[in-house]
């Protein structure tokens, strides 16, 4: 696709992202929060344009994982002509919480 795949965020993912931002607002500087937002935007842009650039998850073969930064991973899958963002997962969380 020339302009990239359409990105679709699940309700679960939007909740996770909201919780992550709340945590970051309390514990990080504004500069770090802006860097995180830019890193998420950049990663989603890359996913949109080149969805197969990131590796397939070890757990489920149709799900890919994109490392945003050392603290966050985006899990997603290609669904026809769109990308479904499934999770924005903090690497310091308990792995059993991954959906």
Whether the predicted pLDDT of 1 surpasses 70: no
- Nearest CA to 87 out of 79, 96, 72 is that of 72
pLDDT bin (cut points 50, 70, 90) of residue 94 is very low
Match 């344009």 to its residue by tokens: 49
Other C-beta atoms within 10 Å of 99: how many? 10
Match 């690497």 to its residue by tokens: 91
d(C-alpha 32, C-alpha 54), whole Å: 24
As a CATH number, domain 6-91 is 3.30.2310.20
Average pLDDT over residues 90-97: 59
Lowest mean pLDDT among 7-16, 33-42, 51-60: 51-60
Q: What's the pLDDT score for residue 88?
A: 92
Average pLDDT over residues 55-73: 90
Whether the predicted pLDDT of 16 surpasses 70: yes
> pTM score, two decimals?
0.85
CA dihedral 51, 40, 89, 1 (to 10 degrees): -20
């Amino acid at each position: 696709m020339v302009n990239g795949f359409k990105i679709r965020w699940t309700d679960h993912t939007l909740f996770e992202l909201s919780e992550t931002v709340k945590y970051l607002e309390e514990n990080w500087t504004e500069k770090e929060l802006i860097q995180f937002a830019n890193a998420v935007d950049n990663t989603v842009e890359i996913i949109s344009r080149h969805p197969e650039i990131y590796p397939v998850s070890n757990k489920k073969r149709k799900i890919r994982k994109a490392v945003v930064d050392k603290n966050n991973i985006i899990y997603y899958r290609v669904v026809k002509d769109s990308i479904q963002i499934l999770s924005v997962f903090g690497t310091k969380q308990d792995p059993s919480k991954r959906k």
